[in-house]
Structure 1
């Protein structure tokens, strides 16, 4: 089995893939879109993508790709993210002029960077491990990267500081995805169901009515995320996570009720998600 992830060796997504699919072979891809396309086409059996971080919020592009690609969520997992500051051998903290990493990682460490390296410029990269690789290849002792300890070992970088994230409860939620329709692939132990919908009318009370279909059946909403509808300014898509399985009759009835007031509705997955690990 082959599992796609975005980034290069040493990426946090690779670590998440190893947890979700321990017997699989990881396959790196340059972009999230490429991961979704590989899963959808059957080039790989599964993919692993981040969807949100506890410090820096959602990975918005992946919400969009869940809707636009013919895939479904089959599993969820929280991964503890421990960031390291790393640089080529011989580097010193007071000489660092630039810190490279993915914007999510830079955001998760912005307090540390502001307090400890106020002189350093933050440079966005497409991947944490890719930033580490690029810094290693450059050999420039004034440039550092934020990535995992695994990435530092992978690319021969010196760890200058560890645990630099702004809070010790820094977790990223990852989703395992496969090709196919969610309704045809309901996990037998599903404890979470995700759906996206667009409201039929943008009128007062429309959003309240959409949420009421769950409240009337005493269904617990875990999360709600809104995204602009492409090409229709002022109109939004709503992504909702509900505790429970699509196999449960009250949840199916809620979604049937919801379809009466929506112009678009897609079940993204009915899957098992492990609880957040203890501190």
Structure 2
């Protein structure tokens, strides 16, 4: 049985993503309070894998998680997309007009900010480490003037009422999660790769690299720049590549190597299916 670390507790979106990715396979989920703790368990061989969110279609990229991947030299062996539906949750016997505070993960709050500003403009927003943890804390507090944000499963696990369903700003709200480990899985039938590279700090250096992928008919699905610590105005670039022809992909990587100062292949894996 695989041991998998996640940030969050039972009922969190990270747990949902883990169960979705592994489907009918048995896994032991290890709950962690922070992303750093989750990846450290992989690094110390206390778990086999880590499932970690990397971007959301509304809130954007989790830049700190890119840094954690590099810091701990983790490899990507898969990905899973989760459709995120947010709900307003309160303790039983509560009413919405009594809401003074809304507690949740900062990204969950951001995803629902239009609803909050419209319906509860005076509510104090308090950031918590994860949605399920905020729900559990609300249940334990028994407070009736506080609401939280979470999924249906969270409401069931922590015996909370769903006061409003689907409060996320954009109904096509998806979070992408990466499956991380210490060692490559050696997939040769991959159709997606994540790389990180640095190029010269001069006119056209990045454009030259990107044109190589175009030349070999490789689709760039994401480009994320990350500041390089201690080197002002210099960046590393995280790029996701999709391809149908392995040979063209390998030729492109070989050519890119001649045009960058450093390049790391973070993982070669199967593209995750986008939920409908």
- Normalised by the shorter chain, which TM-score bucket? over 0.9
What is aligned with 1:20? 21
2:89–2:163 Cα contact (<8 Å) kept: yes
Aligned to 1:261, the other structure's residue is in SS state coil
Deviation at 1:118, TM superposition (A): 1.2
Which one of the candidate residues 123, 127, 132 is aligned to 1:129? 132
The reply on whether 1:114 has 2:113 as its aligned counterpart is: no
**Cα-to-partner distance string for 1:41-75 (whole Å, 9 max, x where unaligned):** 22111111111111111111111112221221111
Deviation at 1:111, TM superposition (A): 0.7
2:217–2:243 Cα contact (<8 Å) kept: no
TM-score (norm. length: structure 2): 0.94
Following the alignment from structure 1 to structure 2, what is the Cα–Cα distance between the partners of residues 39 and 215? 35
Unaligned runs of 5+ residues in structure 2 are none
Following the alignment from structure 2 to structure 1, what is the Cα–Cα distance between the partners of residues 174 and 163? 22
**Cα-to-partner distance string for 1:214-255 (whole Å, 9 max, x where unaligned):** 11212111111111111112111100000037x923222222
Aligned to 2:41, the other structure's residue is in SS state helix
1:186–1:269 Cα contact (<8 Å) kept: no
Aligned to 1:134, the other structure's residue is in SS state helix
1:145-224 alignment runs, 5 A limit: 145-180=148-183, 182=184, 185-199=185-199, 201-224=200-223
Aligned to 1:273, the other structure's residue is in SS state coil
Deviation at 1:17, TM superposition (A): 0.5
Following the alignment from structure 1 to structure 2, what is the Cα–Cα distance between the partners of residues 187 and 162? 40
Following the alignment from structure 2 to structure 1, what is the Cα–Cα distance between the partners of residues 12 and 57? 18
Following the alignment from structure 2 to structure 1, what is the Cα–Cα distance between the partners of residues 72 and 255? 25
Deviation at 1:263, TM superposition (A): 2.5
- Is the deviation greater in 162-171 or in 61-70? 61-70
Following the alignment from structure 1 to structure 2, what is the Cα–Cα distance between the partners of residues 57 and 48? 18
Following the alignment from structure 1 to structure 2, what is the Cα–Cα distance between the partners of residues 188 and 93? 53
The reply on whether 1:255 has 2:253 as its aligned counterpart is: yes
Following the alignment from structure 1 to structure 2, what is the Cα–Cα distance between the partners of residues 63 and 150? 28
CA RMSD of aligned residues (A): 1.5
Following the alignment from structure 1 to structure 2, what is the Cα–Cα distance between the partners of residues 100 and 38? 28
Following the alignment from structure 1 to structure 2, what is the Cα–Cα distance between the partners of residues 150 and 107? 21
Deviation at 1:188, TM superposition (A): 4.1
**Cα-to-partner distance string for 1:197-216 (whole Å, 9 max, x where unaligned):** 111x2111011011122112
What is aligned with 1:3? 4
Aligned to 1:223, the other structure's residue is in SS state strand
What is aligned with 2:62? 59
Deviation at 1:24, TM superposition (A): 0.8
**Cα-to-partner distance string for 1:259-279 (whole Å, 9 max, x where unaligned):** 22322211011111222122x
What is aligned with 1:139? 142
Deviation at 1:40, TM superposition (A): 2.2
Following the alignment from structure 1 to structure 2, what is the Cα–Cα distance between the partners of residues 98 and 187? 48
Aligned to 1:234, the other structure's residue is in SS state coil
1:67–1:266 Cα contact (<8 Å) kept: no
What is aligned with 1:228? 227
2:209–2:256 Cα contact (<8 Å) kept: yes
